[in-house]
């Protein structure tokens, strides 16, 4: 449930190594000063256009990792049973931990090698089910916290950076407008789910950890919102759920002194859920997402995402009020990022509605 993080690493790179780099033009950043390094067509040494600094025969550059998604990135969420009916008036308190590790999502125009990131994330969430004019609904709030450690190599030289802090909090409202009426706990005992159609709207506020002079941040310094549709169909103990959505991003107007824009990210997730017995269920999860290309000060990056992930979720009740959820997911195909493993555990406490 965390948002996106970014990482940068400082290297001393001499001109000979830059000559071996494949790109004719690179957008780099040094501190908060923008520098553009161009290699002449004759293959000679690169020349500094503006904002560059020299230290002997080397250039100090901070490489930008664009679009690095960690385990709690919006497009990569795998959330089964988001569109099922639940008695109104219930409250849910959730505390979770997740770990993800693997390849960092980078702009492929940057000559980076062995880019990896490890993320330890915690999340605190609260949800309440509602009666929305006779339809079942829900409002939930999620507050993530993450510890991120990233490494990469440029021209054989390694760099590392670490950061921790709160991520951008998320507020979401959802309603099932077909097949899931608002029911009390007593009424719910006679309810049998068939086809449910619903929708949700999620909003991320730019309140997470962010340092405008650093690239590695937990927060994103921008607003984001996501409308989503959801459809589920139940056959006895088996439920199939599909949820397409699109995430829109406001601009980050203080990205190392530059303006960073990002195209909408389109995704769809699906879940095949099997209920073993009351309170115990297992789900096979999958998601595909594409888009999210970034633009910095009018210069478009070659970082459009087109990724697929698969995973599984297991829910186990402890008693009437407490339950535990285990989950795992892994990247299957990845154009930019998404090629990482994600594993976690969540504890849930429910109360209210006459339990």
Question: What confidence tens digit (pLDDT) does each residue in 327-347 have?
Answer: 999 988 877 666 778 899 999
- Domain membership flag for residue 1: no
* 168 shares its domain with 310: yes
111 found inside a domain:
yes
31: left (phi over 0), alpha (psi -120 to 50) or beta: left
> In this predicted structure, what is the pLDDT of residue 160?
72
| Residue 4 resides in a domain | no
Task: Looking at the structure, tell me whether residues 165 and 253 fall in a common domain.
Answer: yes
For 65, counting Cβ atoms within 10 Å of its Cβ (0-12 exposed, 13-18 middle, 19+ buried), the class is buried
Other CB atoms within a 10 A radius of the CB of residue 199 amount to 16
* pLDDT at res. 333: 84
Element spanning 188, H or E: helix 185-188
* pLDDT at position 355: 86
Tell me the per-residue pLDDT of 163-198, one tens digit each, with 9 for 90 and over: 899 999 999 999 999 999 999 999 999 999 999 999
Burial (Cβ within 10 Å: 0-12, 13-18, ≥19) of residue 322: exposed
The CATH number linked to 240 is 2.40.128.130
**Alpha-carbon dihedral sign for residues 83, 323, 274, 314:** positive
Same domain, 31 and 59: yes
- Look up the domain containing 91 and give its range: 70-351
What pLDDT is attached to residue 77?
Answer: 67
What pLDDT is recorded for position 158?
64
pLDDT score for 301: 83
pLDDT score, position 237:
96
Judge if 177 and 206 occupy the same domain. Answer: yes
Same domain, 23 and 154: no
pLDDT score of 61: 26
How far is Cα of residue 180 from the mean position of the Cα atoms in its chain? 29
Q: Is residue 51 part of a domain?
A: yes
Domain match, 21 and 136 both = no
- Domains: count for the chain: 2
Give the pTM: 0.78
Low-confidence ranges of the chain (pLDDT < 50): 1-73, 75, 104-112
Q: Residue 116's pLDDT is what? A: 73
- 187 — phi, psi (to 5°)? -70, -30
Give the three-class secondary structure for 15.
helix
């Amino acid at each position: 449930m965390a948002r996106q993080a970014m990482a940068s690493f400082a290297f001393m790179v001499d001109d000979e190594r830059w000559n071996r780099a494949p790109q004719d033009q690179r957008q780099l950043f040094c501190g908060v000063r923008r520098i553009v390094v161009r290699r002449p067509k004759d293959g000679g040494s690169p020349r500094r256009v503006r904002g560059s600094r020299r230290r002997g025969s080397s250039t100090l550059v901070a490489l930008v990792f664009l679009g690095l998604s960690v385990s709690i990135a919006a497009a990569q969420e795998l959330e089964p049973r988001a569109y099922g009916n639940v008695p109104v008036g219930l409250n849910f308190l959730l505390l979770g931990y997740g770990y993800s590790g693997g390849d960092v999502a980078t702009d492929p125009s940057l000559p980076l090698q062995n880019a990896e990131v490890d993320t330890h994330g915690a999340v605190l969430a609260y949800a309440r089910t509602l009666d929305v004019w006779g339809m079942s609904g829900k409002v939930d709030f999620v507050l993530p916290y993450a510890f991120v450690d990233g490494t990469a190599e440029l021209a054989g030289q390694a760099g590392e950076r670490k950061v921790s802090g709160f991520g951008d909090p998320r507020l979401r409202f959802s309603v099932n407008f077909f097949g899931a009426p608002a029911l009390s706990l007593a009424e719910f005992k006679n309810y049998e789910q068939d086809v449910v159609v619903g929708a949700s709207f999620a909003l991320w506020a730019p309140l997470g950890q962010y340092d405008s002079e650093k690239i590695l941040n937990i927060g994103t310094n921008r607003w984001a919102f996501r409308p989503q549709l959801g459809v589920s169909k139940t056959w006895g103990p088996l439920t199939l759920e599909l949820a397409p959505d699109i995430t829109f991003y406001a601009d980050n107007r203080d990205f190392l002194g530059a303006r960073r824009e990002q195209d909408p990210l389109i995704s769809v997730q699906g879940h095949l859920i099997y209920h073993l017995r009351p309170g115990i269920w297992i789900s096979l999860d999958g998601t595909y997402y594409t888009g999210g290309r970034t633009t910095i000060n009018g210069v478009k990056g070659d970082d459009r995402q087109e990724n697929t992930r698969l995973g599984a979720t297991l829910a186990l009740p402890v008693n009437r009020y407490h339950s535990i959820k285990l989950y795992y997911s892994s990247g299957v195909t990845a154009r930019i990022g998404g090629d990482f493993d994600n594993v976690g555990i969540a504890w849930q406490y429910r109360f209210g509605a006459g339990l």
